[in-house]
Amino acid sequence: MTVRFSTMLVLALCLAGCRCAGPLDMVGEDALRVEPARLDFSPTFVGASSRLTLRVDNPSRTRRAVTATVDGAFSVSPSELELAGGESTELVVTFTPVADREVSAVLQVNTVAVAVSGSGLPPLTCEPSRPCVGIRFGAESGACVTTTAADGTSCETGCVDGQCVNGECIGALKNCPDTVCTVGVCSEAAGCSHVPRMCPAAPGPCQRCATTLRAAASPTRSTARCAGLTTAASAPSTCASVARVRRARDLRPAGAPTPGCRSTRHRTKRRWRGTRSPERP
């Protein structure tokens, strides 16, 4: 009886000495294995994305939480997960450049650091778009992409207002109106514009003013209108004089001399009259 009591007392003391205050911690826990140790992305066009994979292994016999982080032009997915003992998975790392330059960063997987780097390429230059046909650079494909507008889509060029038909803008020509001294012309590059009319040069003020007076009576003659503008700017007083000459000419008696632009013969006749001898009685 005494021996049995002693045995129970020893067992109770042993159990009391083994009581733990909290959960047990694993000592010497194996770290995650991450491969490869570095990721180098191939040159990628700005606006496009490149992807590489990263393998993560849990060599321990316990479940492990995994957290992956990276910044800059790089991203990782998934960024948080759990791996059972002996389990492995792959993380997808994406590179999306925003400028045509080289960049680098550090991808952290728990306590393991992985270097990542890549370089961005500028977009290719495509030929300009035209009415009914759009041309743009496709960053993902790395080539110029052409799109054709549907038939019936409204379109406009420098000289045509119309609709798209099989990738061409078909319609009526634009109206480029003429002005008094210019002619309306059209080109696809510049649209409507005006070029000066070719007006004949007036040889003298009397003829220029005569042309101006004819233009007032016949405004449909483009040559007269052009000459009229030239005369009005260069010799307005001469034009007024010629107008008075015309009015005086229209009112003079038959056979009377013409005032204004007189001929050499008429001036000679007046000088002779001024020097003739007195009349005989």
Q: What percent of the chain shows pLDDT beyond 70?
A: 60
Look-up of token digits 């998975």: 89
User: For 255-274, what is each residue's pLDDT tens digit?
Assistant: 555 444 444 444 444 444 54
Instruction: Give the angle 218-221-225 at the CA atoms, nearest 5°.
Output: 90
User: For 115-163, what is each residue's pLDDT tens digit?
Assistant: 999 999 999 888 888 899 999 999 888 889 999 999 999 999 989 999 9
Q: What is the CATH number of domain 33-121?
A: 2.60.40.10
Give the domain ranges of the chain: 33-121, 133-176, 198-253
- Tell me the β-bridge partners of 64: 83
Tell me the whole-structure pTM to 2 decimals: 0.52
Burial of 246 (0-12, 13-18, 19+ CB in 10 A): middle
